C-alpha cells in the first residue's frame, strides 16, 4: 500500500514545487514593477528639486515698486536669423512685447526681439545684434554693452581715458527708458588690446525660466530694437 501511494506523494510534491516557483516568479515580477515605479518617482523628485532650485534663484530678483513682470519657460535655443537667442512659451497674451527686458535671479538675459501671441524670442546680450546701455557700478561711466556672438560681450563708447578695473560690476543704466536702471549685467573680465570685455552673471547654457519685465517706472512707450535685428516668425 505504501508503494502504491508513493507516486501520488511524488506528483503532489511536484505540484507544490511548481506552485512555489510561480509564487516566487510573481513576487519577483511585483518587486521589479515596484522598483521601476520607485525609480520613476525618484527621477520626478530630482526634476522637481532642480525646478525648485531654479525658482529659488529667480526670487533673488526683487523688482522695485511699480515693476511688473511675466514668468516664462525657455522651450528652445538659438534659431532663425539670431545666433544667440532663446524661444520662450509666453507672448502678447502674457503682456510681453517686443523690446521688453528679460532677467533671471542672477542678472540680465537680454531683450524680447519677437513677441507672438503665445510665444516669443529673447535676444541674448551676447548676440551680435544686442546693444544695451550700461554703466560701471563704481566709476559710474556710461557705455554700450555690445554682443559679438562670443561669451564675453564688449563695452563700447566709453569716455576717453576711462578708468576701469577688472572685477568691477556693470549694470544697466536705464538711459533712454528702454531698460530699468540697475539690472545686474556682469563684471569686467579683461581689458586687453583696447577691448574691455564683460563676464555675464547669467549662465546662458542652463536657462530654464526667465522673467520678462513688462512695465517699470520711467518706461518709454514703443521699445527700440536695433534695425539690423531681423525678425523671425513665432506664434
Q: Does residue 223 belong to any structural domain of this protein?
A: no
Helix (H/G/I), strand (E/B), else coil: 84: coil
101 pairs with which residues across the strands? 111, 213
Domain co-membership, 176 together with 136: yes
Q: Is 132 exposed, middle or buried (0-12, 13-18, 19+ CB in 10 A)?
A: buried
- Distance (Å) of CA 83 to CA 33, 76, 77, 89, 151: 46, 13, 9, 19, 12
Helix (H/G/I), strand (E/B), else coil: 176: helix
pTM of the model: 0.69
- Domain extent, residue 96, equals 68-127+204-215
Closest CA to 131 of 147, 114, 108: 147
Domain co-membership, 151 together with 43: no
Predicted pLDDT of residue 226: 43
CB of 208 closer than 8 Å to CB of 105: no
Predicted pLDDT of residue 36: 77
Predicted pLDDT of residue 20: 67
Q: What are phi and psi of 195, to 5 degrees?
A: -105, 120
Q: Does residue 233 belong to any structural domain of this protein?
A: no
Domain co-membership, 119 together with 83: yes
Q: How many CB atoms lie within 10 A of CB 31?
A: 10
Domain co-membership, 6 together with 55: yes
Domain co-membership, 112 together with 162: no
Predicted pLDDT of residue 148: 94
132 pairs with which residues across the strands? 145
Domain co-membership, 44 together with 156: no
36, containing H or E segment = helix 2-58
Q: Does residue 55 belong to any structural domain of this protein?
A: yes
Q: What are phi and psi of 15, to 5 degrees?
A: -65, -40
Domain co-membership, 44 together with 160: no
- Residues present in the chain in total: 235
Domain co-membership, 140 together with 194: yes
Residue stretches of the chain with pLDDT short of 70: 1-22, 25, 38-65, 79-81, 218-235
191, containing H or E segment = strand 184-192
* Residue at grid coordinates 515698486: 65
Supply the CATH number for residue 85's domain.
2.40.10.340
Amino acid at each position: 500500500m505504501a508503494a502504491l501511494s508513493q507516486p501520488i506523494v511524488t506528483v503532489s510534491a511536484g505540484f507544490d514545487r511548481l506552485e512555489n516557483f510561480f509564487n516566487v516568479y510573481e513576487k519577483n515580477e511585483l518587486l521589479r514593477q515596484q522598483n521601476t515605479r520607485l525609480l520613476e518617482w525618484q527621477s520626478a523628485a530630482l526634476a522637481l528639486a532642480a525646478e525648485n532650485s531654479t525658482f529659488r534663484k529667480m526670487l533673488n530678483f526683487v523688482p522695485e515698486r511699480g515693476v511688473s513682470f511675466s514668468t516664462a519657460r525657455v522651450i528652445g535655443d538659438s534659431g532663425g536669423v539670431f545666433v544667440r537667442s532663446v524661444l520662450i512659451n509666453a507672448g502678447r497674451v502674457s503682456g510681453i512685447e517686443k523690446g521688453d527686458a528679460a532677467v533671471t535671479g542672477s542678472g540680465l538675459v537680454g531683450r524680447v526681439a519677437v513677441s507672438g501671441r503665445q510665444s516669443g524670442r529673447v535676444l541674448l546680450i551676447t548676440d551680435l545684434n544686442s546693444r544695451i546701455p550700461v554703466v560701471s557700478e563704481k566709476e559710474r561711466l556710461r557705455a554700450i554693452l555690445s554682443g559679438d556672438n562670443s561669451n564675453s560681450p564688449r563695452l563700447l563708447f566709453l569716455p576717453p581715458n576711462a578708468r576701469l578695473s577688472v572685477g568691477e560690476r556693470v549694470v544697466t543704466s536705464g538711459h533712454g527708458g528702454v531698460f530699468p536702471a540697475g539690472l545686474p549685467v556682469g563684471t569686467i573680465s579683461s581689458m586687453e588690446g583696447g577691448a574691455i570685455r564683460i563676464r555675464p552673471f547669467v549662465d546662458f547654457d542652463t536657462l530654464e525660466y526667465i522673467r520678462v519685465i513688462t512695465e517699470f517706472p520711467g518706461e518709454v512707450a514703443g521699445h527700440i530694437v536695433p534695425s539690423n535685428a531681423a525678425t523671425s516668425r513665432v506664434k
